[in-house]
């Protein structure tokens, strides 16, 4: 027979045994969960790589700062009307449906920039701001050759703006951010770098050569900003090739050079020499007895234009423009486009291997 003391002792041992069994079961369960887990977790406060964290924080600050100044555009086209796109530009949605493009606000009163090929000649333009607000906009100025348009958004309150930077100061390899509405996904942000400058693409001579970037740009990004790490617009996203692998943007300095005319006159007047030119190829160099392929070969002189009036002729090779070397047709076109109408310039050219000089006043480029 068990005494009272022995009974209490047995009960104590039983409780201790149950406690040990319970602890063993919990430990086995925890081990089992750990064994079944298919991922690894770090401590909640595990620090990130400092330099990467700084970059990430900078990108977050940049996008939060500029997104309110980015706009999404819908332009309703005419049934059956074909968009007037620059050569080699990727296709846009059917013109009978709203065309989604992008833009950005440059002044609190609602002045905004986009591409001319986004708005074309349409007046029914609707703007959506980052906060979802919708408004109408009208076109104040169009630059078909430079593919730029200046908009006035209807607003009763000041709007957020994004500052314009200096595209000439950009360096290849510099980080950039592109913002727009690719395929209708509004206010999308992509990140990359400047892959090249002064690219000869589309109407590159008018804008001084395009900026090339690997930041993803697709249909709907047109007119949106390309930003540097200071949050400044350094380019206007305009075109892409190879399904967004390479994007091209108009340098913002070319845009700034045209803004006053777009605002005051509704269009842009550019200087004009009045010649059609070609690059020098190997056969030309041999046939003309030249030492190098440097210069712009004149294959046509337009009647009544400054070049003809100054005596330039077919076969002349322009090698200098107002004190600057001309190594290619691109150099000449860029220099002329950047000059004011009526300016007297000095043209250096080769005629039958003899270097000659002539002075002329630049004319105005015809609209066509």
Residues annotated as catalytic are 117, 147, 222
Distance (Å, whole) CA 282 – CA 297: 13
Instruction: Give the number of residues written for the chain.
Output: 368
Residue 326 phi/psi, 5° resolution?
-115, 105
Residue that is written with structure tokens 């609190």 in the block: 108
Which whole-number Å values give the CA distances from 312 to 185, 325, 336, 349, in the listed order?
52, 18, 16, 9
Angle at alpha carbon of residue 361, lines to 359 and 362, rounded to 5° = 120
Sequence-ordered list of residues with C-beta below 8 angstroms from that of 317, at least 6 positions apart, any chain: 280, 288, 290, 295, 296, 297, 298, 349, 350, 351
Question: Dihedral angle at the C-alpha atoms of 172, 174, 179, 180, nearest 10 degrees?
Answer: 10
Which is nearest to 66 in space by CA: 102, 105, 101, 100?
105
Q: How many helices (H) and strands (E) does the chain have?
A: 8, 20
Distance (Å, whole) CA 317 – CA 308: 14
Sequence-ordered list of residues with C-beta below 8 angstroms from that of 168, at least 6 positions apart, any chain: 251, 253
Distance (Å, whole) CA 321 – CA 336: 8
């Amino acid at each position: 027979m068990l005494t009272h003391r022995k009974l209490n002792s047995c009960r104590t041992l039983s409780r201790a045994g149950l406690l040990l069994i319970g602890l063993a079961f919990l430990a086995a369960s925890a081990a089992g969960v750990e064994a079944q887990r298919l991922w690894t977790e770090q401590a909640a406060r595990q620090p990130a790589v400092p330099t990467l964290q700084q970059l990430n924080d900078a990108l977050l600050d940049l996008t939060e700062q500029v997104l309110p100044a980015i706009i999404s555009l819908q332009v309703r086209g005419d049934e059956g009307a074909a968009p007037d796109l620059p050569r080699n530009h990727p296709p846009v949605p059917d013109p009978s449906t709203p065309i989604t493009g992008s833009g950005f606000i440059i002044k609190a009163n609602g002045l905004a920039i986009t591409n001319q090929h986004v708005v074309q000649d349409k007046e029914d333009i609707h703007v959506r701001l980052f906060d979802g607000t919708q408004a109408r906009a009208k076109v104040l100025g169009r630059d078909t050759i430079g593919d730029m348009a200046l908009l006035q958004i209807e607003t009763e309150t000041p709007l957020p703006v994004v500052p314009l930077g200096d595209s000439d100061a950009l360096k290849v390899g510099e980080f950039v951010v592109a913002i727009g509405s690719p395929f209708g996904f509004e206010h999308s942000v992509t990140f990359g770098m400047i892959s090249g400058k002064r690219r000869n693409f589309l109407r590159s001579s008018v804008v001084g050569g395009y900026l090339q970037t690997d930041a993803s740009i697709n249909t709907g990004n047109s007119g949106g900003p390309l930003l540097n790490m200071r949050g400044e617009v350094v380019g206007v996203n305009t075109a892409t090739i190879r399904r967004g692998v390479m994007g091209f943007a108009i340098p913002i300095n070319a845009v700034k050079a045209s803004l006053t005319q777009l605002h005051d006159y509704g269009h842009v007047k550019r200087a004009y020499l009045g010649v059609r030119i070609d690059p020098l190829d190997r056969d030309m160099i041999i046939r003309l007895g030249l030492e190098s392929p440097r210069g712009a070969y004149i294959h046509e002189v337009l009647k009544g234009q400054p070049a003809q009036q100054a005596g330039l002729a077919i076969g002349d090779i322009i090698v200098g423009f107002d004190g600057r070397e001309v190594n290619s047709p691109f150099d000449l076109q860029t220099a002329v486009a950047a000059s004011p109408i009526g300016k007297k310039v000095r043209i250096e050219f080769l005629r039958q291997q003899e270097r000659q000089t002539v002075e002329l006043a630049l004319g105005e480029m015809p609209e066509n």
